Structure 1
Amino acid sequence: MGLVGVTLCAALAVVVVLGITFAVALRVGRQAVIDVTWGLGFVAIALTAFVVTGGQADPLRRWLALLLTAAWGLRLATHIRLRSRGKGEDPRYEAMLARASGNPKAYALLHIYLPQGVIMWFVSLPVQVAMLVGGGLPWVMWLGVAVWAVGFVFESVGDLQLTRFRDDPSNKGKVLDTGLWRYTRHPNYFGDACVWTGLFLVAASAWPGVLTILSPAVMVWNLYGGTGKKLLEKDIGDRRPEYADYVRRTSGFFPLPPKRTR
């Protein structure tokens, strides 16, 4: 199967996953279930592309693309599921649906599911292409695995440290500034960016994988200036004035030694 066929199959996988998610969301009355599906959708895309391409390309690159995507997606889905257990609707979706004009279900499909589905499909293009290419530069592929590993550690450890911090009642109202959070205000977002940069390098190690450069760029932009860091910090800053001091001394994205403040 060629690239067009693979991308169409990947798009179909996105539609199926988000369709099931929407049905579940209507049943439980919470659109926030799509946050759990975010990671699972990438796993479904990688598995679909792996299956439909058969053995027509480099087996090692194919398995790496599948396993690295699955490890990231399953961990993220599990983490978000545990974090949201027992909670109500996400305030972001409540605010969006409050602005809905007309049918709220149609509004949710158009403004929540459609954008996330398009981004999911576009960001995963390196994984789709990696299932088709052969040869290339092995050292670039292994560099991609190393960058992915750095990102996976940052994201996993950062999420674990934040969970433990929030679970301790004595930390209520405080700002986490230890561990990885001492060096970057968003170790999980930085890790996510590294994961998708690494997967891009796995694909870019052989032509035409390098042409998917815009996919990780979109993910990094979204994490840094879109709905990730920028939106989250605005919300925290509005609710917790002490966060401003943490912002002054801690890198916003890339891990750096903390600044000295008076």
Structure 2
Amino acid sequence: MPFQIEHLLFIALVSLIACCTIMFLVWLWAKKIKNAGVVDVFWALNFPVITLITYFLSEGFETRKILICSIFLLAELRLGLHLWQRVIGHLEEEEGRYQQLRKEWGDKVERNFFFFFQFQAISNVLLTIPIFIITANPSTKISILEYVGLAIWAIAFIGEMVADQQLAAFKKEPKNKGKVCDTGLWYYSRHPNYFFEWLTWMAYFIFALASPWGILAIISPSIILYLLTRVTGVPNNEEQNLRSKPEAYKKYQQTTSSFFLWGKKDG
């Protein structure tokens, strides 16, 4: 069966409708409980929804479909469950970055959050472009690029999981209140979890290069890199940390890479 771009666009449209509907319902819930942080959880959980839609509607080689959908599902379910534990367990307390947005947006806050939630749904679909492309590939041969993509994905998956666990363990210790986590992977980067999240999407891009139109998959790691380093990831996290522990975090900023895992710099 030949690669059909029209069918790929149909799958993307179905996925967009599903994600926008989910985010509308989540927005209604967030409005009721006054906690916009739930958007993070469902942003991650939208990906498994897209994965299932893509798997059942795509017409590519079955083994490849099972392979890419399985690792994509595993990565996003892990992230979704991690965020679920962090956010849903503290619904009565909205995260600082969303509290700040409420202050900045004033009486337009609910309208702006509506569009913010819908933008998250759109980003879900744009980021899944590699999966759409890969699952449409009719070739019955798994190429070396796809194996390389799998290897990078495994490194990224383990790295992000370890970084999240190290930060959670650090925060559980009462003696660490007001301190900055700078041990383990956090010694080499102020945001190793974000770095490995980006590396995961790079793995999907490399995997997609073996498929027709695969170069289009570059949009996913590019968007993720921009969002994490310029919009919702690093900037918001840094602002919150500077508000909560200004002196300690400023020193951390002076000696530690913001994103990539590098050695220490002179403070």
Q: Could you tell which deviates more after superposition, 16-25 or 62-71?
A: 16-25
Match of 1:134 in 2: 138
| Secondary structure class of the residue paired with 1:88 | coil
Query: Within 2, Cα distance between the matches of 1:158 and 1:62?
Result: 29
Match of 1:6 in 2: 11
| Code of the aligned partner of 1:70 | L
**The one of 30, 35, 41 aligned to 1:30:** 35
Q: What is the TM-score normalised by the length of structure 1?
A: 0.90
| Secondary structure class of the residue paired with 2:259 | coil
Q: Deviations over 1:48-74 (max 9, x none)?
A: 111112xx2122321222112211111
How many Å apart are 1:19 and its aligned residue?
2.7
How many Å apart are 1:102 and its aligned residue?
5.7
Percent identical: 28
How many Å apart are 1:217 and its aligned residue?
0.4
Query: Within 2, Cα distance between the matches of 1:22 and 1:108?
Result: 7
1:1-262 equivalences under 5 Å are: 2-53=7-58, 56-84=59-87, 85-86=89-90, 87-100=92-105, 104-110=109-115, 112-135=116-139, 138-239=143-244, 240-261=246-267
Moved over 4 A (4+): 99-104
Mark the CA change 1:91 to 1:245 in structure 2 (over 3 Å): closer, same or farther. closer
Please report the RMSD computed on the Cα atoms of aligned residues, expressed in angstroms: 2.0
Query: Within 2, Cα distance between the matches of 1:256 and 1:59?
Result: 40
Q: Could you tell which deviates more after superposition, 97-106 or 173-182?
A: 97-106
Tell me the matched-pair count.
Answer: 258
How many Å apart are 1:248 and its aligned residue?
2.2
Structure 1's unaligned 5+ residue stretches are none
Q: Deviations over 1:141-188 (max 9, x none)?
A: 111111111211121111111011001001111111111111111110
How many Å apart are 1:97 and its aligned residue?
3.3
Mark the CA change 1:238 to 1:105 in structure 2 (over 3 Å): closer, same or farther. closer
Match of 2:3 in 1: none
Q: Could you tell which deviates more after superposition, 95-104 or 23-32?
A: 95-104
